[in-house]
Amino acid sequence: MRDTFVKILVELAKENKNIELMTGDLGFGVLKPFWEQCPDQFTNAGIAEQNMTSVAAGMALSGKTVFTYSIGNFPTLRCLEQIRNDCAYHNADVKIVCVGGGFAYGSLGMSHHATEDIAIMRSLPGVTVVCPGDPVEAELATKVIAKYPGTCYLRLGRGGEARVHKEVFEFQIGKAVKIREAEGNTEKIAVFSTGAILDEVTKACHCLEEKGFSIIQYSFPTVKPADRQTIEACAKKADLIVTVEEHNKVGGFGSAVAEVLAELGEKVKLLRLGIEDCYSTEVGSQEYLRKQYGIEKKEIVRKIEGSYGRKI
């Protein structure tokens, strides 16, 4: 995803000289194409994310569209006050990019695990939260948020994510993307996910279908604003809605779906899968940590079967 993001941003910056990229003294191997081709639109702010964010806000209020780039929690939690006061409050065109959402930097420990960022960023008024699920979504999301007004948060994987979408589609802020639709009048399970866990969830849905379950699957590349229309439609035709995220269950994507369902008053069962209310005390690869915290394919299947109350 990150290579796709940089490739698209280079193309956009060549067309629009008001696009700027700022980094917190990292990502040089990945960002090299940008600074080589658009050197006058690139700034290394150093290991000073708070300053980077305030400078980005000032540049944005002077007419620029500024992308800030760093890993894990550094461009979000480390400079939350600056995002709130300098960017969001002024509706500044700052696009905050986190590379390595969830456990992508798992071997570096909890300081590098971005597992509360969605909840915190979506709580800020005026901040749009975008979490693409594969390189196709990442490409389309980058193009859209570059023109989208106000402060946006773009949460990417670290790289190497599988392509799930076979075709390019029309990307819209606030719209989910259908992966599969169950047919017939059988009992249905709607599975929603956001972010780079999409490939794992898609594999789990394949497995569930092989077991005889009727699966409706959607990717939600936009967490805020939520796609209320899709959630409502699925609530009317599904017996169970499942949300999956590589993020703390408290306040994240599952909570956003739960809020919509509570307001709609639909009596559909909801199963939220994510990291329990804890910090990871484990270190290891992303694959290893997903297994440890129950959000890899086999655990997703097992938990859905258990919540559904029967195995087919």
- Dump pLDDT digits (tens) for 244-303: 999 999 999 999 999 999 999 878 999 999 999 999 888 999 999 999 999 999 999 999
* Fold classification of 177-308 (topology level): Rossmann fold (3.40.50)
Structural contact between residues 269 and 307, judged by C-beta atoms closer than 8 angstroms: yes
Bond before 132 cis per omega within 30 degrees: no
Query: What pLDDT, on a 0 to 100 scale, did the predictor assign at position 273?
Result: 97
Rounded Cα–Cα distance for residues 124 and 121 (Å): 6
What confidence score (pLDDT) does residue 173 get? 97
Token reading at 231:
């959630």
Q: Which residue has the tokens 């006058």?
A: 40
- C-alpha closest to that of 2 among 87, 111, 75: 75
The ranges of the chain annotated as CATH 3.40.50.920 are 177-308
Taking a C-beta distance cutoff of 8 angstroms, is the pair 291, 280 a contact?
no
3-state DSSP helix/strand/coil percent for the chain, to nearest 5? 45, 20, 35
For the segment 14-64, what is each residue's pLDDT rounded down to a tens digit? 999 999 999 999 878 889 999 999 999 999 999 999 999 999 999 999 999
* Start-end of CATH 3.40.50.970 domains in the chain: 2-156
Would you give the end-to-end CA distance of the chain in angstroms? 36
Q: Which residues pair with 156 in a beta bridge?
A: 99
Greatest pairwise CA separation for the chain in angstroms: 60
| CA 2, chain centre distance (Å) | 13
| Overall size of the chain counted in residues | 312
| Whole-angstrom distance, CA of residue 302 vs CA of residue 207 | 10
Q: Which residues pair with 42 in a beta bridge?
A: 21
Identify the helix (H) or strand (E) that includes residue 34.
helix 28-37
- How is residue 233 written in tokens? 């439609």
Query: What is each CA distance from 177 to 106, 144, 156, in whole angstroms?
Result: 28, 15, 17
CATH topology of domain 2-156: Rossmann fold (3.40.50)
- Short-list 148, 122, 132, 311, CA closest to 220: 132
Hey, what long-range contacts does 286-293 have (CB within 8 A, 24 or more apart)? 286/102, 286/103, 286/104, 286/106, 286/158, 288/106, 289/103, 289/106, 290/103, 290/197, 290/200, 290/246, 293/103
pLDDT in tens, 114-166: 999 999 999 999 999 999 999 999 999 999 999 999 999 999 998 788 899 98
